Amino acid sequence: MTCLPEITPGAKKLGLVIDLDTCVGCQGCATSCKEWNASGHSAPLPDYKPYSAGAEGVWFNRVHSYEAGEGADGRTVHFPRSCLHCETPACVTVCPTGASYKRGEDGIVLVDHDICIGCGLCAWACPYGAREMDEDQGVMKKCTLCVDRIYNETIPEAQRQPACVLACPTKARHFGDLGDPESKVSRLVAERGGQPLMPELGYGPVNSYLPPRRRADTQPVEDAPTPMDIKNPVLRWMDRVLSR
């Protein structure tokens, strides 16, 4: 059913919080995502021409790098891009078949690959480029928020998290319930001023991006030398006289 579940305050909204301050652009999350999802709910995740020039394939997570700002204020920011599991996603409502749907119980946006006709309209409707067609099977694929890990009772509890979150070496990725204001992720968003992407389009992205921290405004000042730092006895005497 491609009509969206009703938005109820306090309802579970599972999602990711991504820290652009600590992400180092290592591609660990993207690789780990590809590895897990090549055999999970969305399997297979094809690669076309994998062993020759022009190799490409379906990935759910793409890590870009940007330069932001100019001169001394400019900085490099690494930026992982994946499905934001939006609250009002047009990718779902445009789907003619009901293959795309948003789950009422946790807000995860999924595709039923047995129903999808591969029209590609949902990929057009997603502003964030989060959907990629499996051109071998002719069906749309996308991030599942590792729905086959987070509820999976056959793996140790500590591992019931999206593969990207577990893989991140700098702990720049956090997973949790953004519908609960008291959750760890919600508190992170509140403390650090987490930002939605392209809020002007009104999709209500659930994932949030923590902005890179501002550099301290004041330049570090060199400490004034103490008398002990002044080796020359004449200068040390002058320092003492002048310091009175």
Partner 1 sequence: MNPAPSIVFFTTASGAGYGLLFWLGLLRPVGLVPQVPAFALLCLALALLLITAGLASSLLHLGNPQRAWRAFSQWRSSWLSREGVAAVATYIPALLFGTALLTGRPGLATIAGLVAALGAVVTVWCTGMIYASLKPIPQWHHPLVAPGYLLLAAYTGMALLAAVSAIGGVVAGPASFIVTLGLAGLVLKIAYWRLVDGGMGRSSAESATSLGFIGRVRPLDPPHTETNYLLREMGFRIARKHAAKLRNLTLLLGFGGPVLLALLATQLGFGGLLLPLAALLALGGMLLERWLMFAEARHTVTLYYRGT
Residue 33 Cβ, how far from partner 1 at the closest point, in Å? 12
Kindly give, in sequence order, each residue whose CB lies less than 8 Å from that of residue 241, ignoring residues fewer than 6 positions away. none
The distance of closest approach from Cβ of residue 2 to partner 1 in the complex, given in angstroms and rounded to an integer, is 5
Nearer to partner 1, 201 or 230 (CB): 201
Q: Which of residues 149-188 bind partner 1 (CB under 8 A)?
A: none
Residue 132 as a binder of partner 1 (CB under 8 A): the answer is yes
Instruction: Enumerate long-range contacts of 92-97, CB under 8 Å, 24 or more apart.
Output: 92/2, 92/4, 92/122, 93/2, 93/3, 93/4, 93/125, 94/2, 94/121, 94/122, 94/124, 94/125, 95/2, 95/121, 95/122, 96/2, 96/121, 97/2
* 87-116 positions binding partner 1, by CB under 8 A: 90, 92-99, 115-116
- The verdict on 67 binding partner 1 (CB under 8 A) reads yes
The least distance separating ligand SF4 from the CB of residue 207, rounded to whole angstroms, comes to: 8
Residue 191 lies near partner 1 (rule: CB under 8 A): no
Of 198, 233, 218, 217, which is closest to residue 84 (Cα–Cα)? Answer: 198
73 or 223: CB nearest partner 1: 73
* Residue 107 C-beta: closest distance to partner 1, Å: 17
Rule CB under 8 A: say whether 6 interacts with partner 1: no
| Residue 69 contacts residue 75 (beta carbons within 8 Å) | yes
- φ, ψ of residue 101 in degrees (nearest 5): -150, 155
Report the site for ligand SF4 in 69-108 (rule: CB under 6 A).
Answer: 83-86, 89, 91, 94-95, 97, 99-100
What is the contact surface with partner 1 in residues (CB under 8 A)?
1-4, 20, 25, 30, 54-59, 62-70, 73-77, 79, 81, 90, 92-99, 115-121, 123-129, 132-135, 137-139, 195-202, 209, 211-212
- For binding to ligand SF4 (CB under 6 A), which residues are involved? 83-86, 89, 91, 94-95, 97, 99-100, 109, 111, 116-122, 126, 128, 130-131, 140, 142, 203
